[in-house]
């Protein structure tokens, strides 16, 4: 059975669906109105394939997953901890049992009904227990735009930026999934003259288009992950909106960086697209100048060609309009460089940790509102 474009599922998948058999992103769902605990799934067409049910049916029969309890959990953390060999085994099993020429589910109505749940019958949940969440600042175009806006054309980017992936710790407790309502944060803004600072609902609520990596096995405290092993620790990617209250952020950030201007909510997509599914979209990452220090120099310096757009529909609009257009491939510091840098001081990563790219701006200052409306710094 070929992994590739020609692979087809017996589950009908519309041409515009994000969920063909080549994707199979992982999430966690609950049947609407059901009392059973949440369970892991992959998406296929308009269905969630219930991995607890697949496991109960004995269909995970590979050496690493047969008998494993990892799909009887309420999050994916146990599965993440198993590492790439188990992830690959799961993917191979799922592509096999979903394939058009495989009868095991296709021709067993009872089993098929247990395993394939229509998406209209489910609600999605945060698929991981996030231990720690880190936000990087790795798009050079975004760094240039921010630098230009805040410090003028002479010194557009801080001198450290080209030597290391700049990052900061974010708030893990307020990571939520797409579709969860955001409550406009209250907080302080710059005072005008000698008055008290502004206090009230943020007047400058903003979005930031990012993607975030979900960490697999991770490392022990004090044992950095080598740059060339880093990809073994990255399970997949989610799309992320790093909601930002610019007025709160501007007043509070000196000297220790963003805090309440960000911590009120961070939205991620409920489905995690695996790095294995993204492989066909790998492309060369931008050449780095100056050459990175040896601990950041990698044999396989790749990004992924993932077109990204942000559309907004305000109350006054009848149709949404596009405000940002970018691509993941513009990332200056790759995911593997971010991960290796994160651990070089001995900091330990754990399964389910999340690290985000920072705002992904494209090379062209488009008329779509990139940068001023979505600037990390």
The DSSP letter of residue 341 is H
Find the DSSP H helices in the chain: 51-56, 77-82, 84-98, 103-106, 109-115, 140-151, 246-252, 275-278, 335-343
Is residue 368 a contact point for its own copies (CB under 8 A)?
no
| 166 lines the binding site for its own copies (CB under 8 A) | yes
Interatomic CA distance for residues 259 and 251, integer angstroms: 10
Q: 349 near 341, Cβ under 8 Å?
A: no
Q: Would you give the binding string for its own copies spanning residues 301-320, x where CB under 8 A is met? A: --------------------
What string marks each residue from 198 to 237 as x (binds its own copies by CB under 8 A) or -? Answer: -x---------------------xx-x-------------
Q: Give CA separation, 240 vs 38, 119, 179, 207, 211, in Å.
A: 22, 21, 12, 10, 5
**Residue 131 binds to its own copies (criterion: CB under 8 A):** yes
Cα separation of 121 and 196, whole Å?
Answer: 51
Cα–chain center distance at 316? 30
Contacts with its own copies by CB under 8 A: the residue count is 61
For its own copies, which residue of 18, 113, 186, 203 counts as binding (CB under 8 A)? 186
Q: Does 18 bind its own copies (CB under 8 A)?
A: no
Residue 377 touches its own copies, criterion: CB under 8 A:
yes
Tell whether residue 137 is among the known ligand binding residues. yes
- Which has the closest alpha carbon to 284: 268, 299, 301, 297? 301
Window contacting its own copies (CB under 8 A); options: 22-30, 62-70, 192-200, 311-319: 192-200
Give least dist CB 327 to its own copies, A: 24
Residue 141 falls in the annotated catalytic set: no
- Per-residue tokens: 259: 């805090």
Run of H or E including 234: strand 234-241
Spot the catalytic one: 18, 141, 142, 163: 142
**C-alpha span between 184 and 39 (Å, rounded):** 31
Of the candidate spans 40-48, 76-84, 245-253, 360-368, the one that interacts with its own copies by CB under 8 A turns out to be: 245-253
Structural tokens at position 256: 């220790």
**Which stretches of the chain bind its own copies, using CB under 8 A?**
131-132, 137, 158, 160, 163-164, 166-174, 176, 183, 185-188, 191, 196-197, 199, 221-222, 224, 245, 248, 251-261, 263-265, 290, 293-295, 341-342, 344-350, 353, 376-377
Q: Give the annotated binding-site residues for Ca(2+).
A: 135, 208, 210, 242
């Amino acid at each position: 059975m070929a992994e590739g474009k020609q692979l087809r599922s017996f589950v009908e998948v519309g041409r515009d669906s994000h969920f063909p058999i080549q994707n199979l992103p992982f999430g966690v769902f609950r049947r609407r109105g059901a009392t059973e605990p949440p369970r892991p799934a992959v998406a296929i067409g308009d269905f969630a394939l219930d991995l607890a049910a697949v496991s109960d049916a004995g269909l995970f029969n590979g050496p690493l997953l047969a008998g494993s309890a990892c799909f009887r959990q309420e999050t994916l953390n146990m599965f993440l901890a198993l590492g790439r060999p188990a992830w690959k085994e799961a993917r191979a099993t799922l592509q096999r049992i979903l394939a058009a020429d495989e009868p095991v589910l296709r021709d067993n109505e009872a089993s098929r009904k247990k395993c394939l749940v229509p998406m209209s019958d489910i609600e999605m949940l945060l698929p991981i227990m996030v231990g720690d969440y880190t936000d990087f600042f790795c798009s050079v175009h975004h760094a240039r735009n921010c630098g230009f806006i805040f410090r003028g054309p002479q010194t557009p980017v801080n001198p450290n930026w080209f030597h290391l992936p700049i990052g900061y710790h974010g708030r893990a407790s307020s990571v939520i999934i797409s579709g969860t309502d955001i409550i406009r944060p209250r907080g302080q803004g710059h005072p005008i003259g000698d008055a008290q600072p502004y206090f009230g609902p943020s007047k400058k609520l903003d979005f930031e288009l990012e993607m975030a990596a979900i960490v697999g096995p991770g490392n022990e405290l004090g044992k950095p992950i080598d740059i060339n092993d880093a990809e073994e620790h990255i399970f997949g990617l989610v799309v992320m909106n790093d909601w930002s209250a610019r007025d709160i952020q501007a007043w509070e950030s000196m000297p220790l960086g963003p805090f309440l201007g960000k911590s009120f909510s961070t939205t991620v997509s409920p489905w995690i697209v695996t790095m294995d599914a993204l492989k066909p979209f790998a492309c060369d990452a931008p050449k780095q100048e100056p050459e990175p220090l040896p601990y950041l120099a990698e044999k396989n310096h790749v990004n992924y060609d993932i077109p990204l757009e942000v559309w907004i529909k305000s109350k006054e609009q009848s149709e949404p309009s596009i405000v940002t257009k970018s691509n993941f491939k513009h990332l200056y510091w790759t995911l593997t460089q971010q991960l290796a840098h994160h651990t070089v001081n001995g900091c330990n990563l754990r399964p389910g940790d999340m690290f985000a790219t920072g705002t992904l701006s494209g090379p062209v200052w488009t008329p779509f509102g990139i940068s001023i409306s979505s600037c990390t710094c």
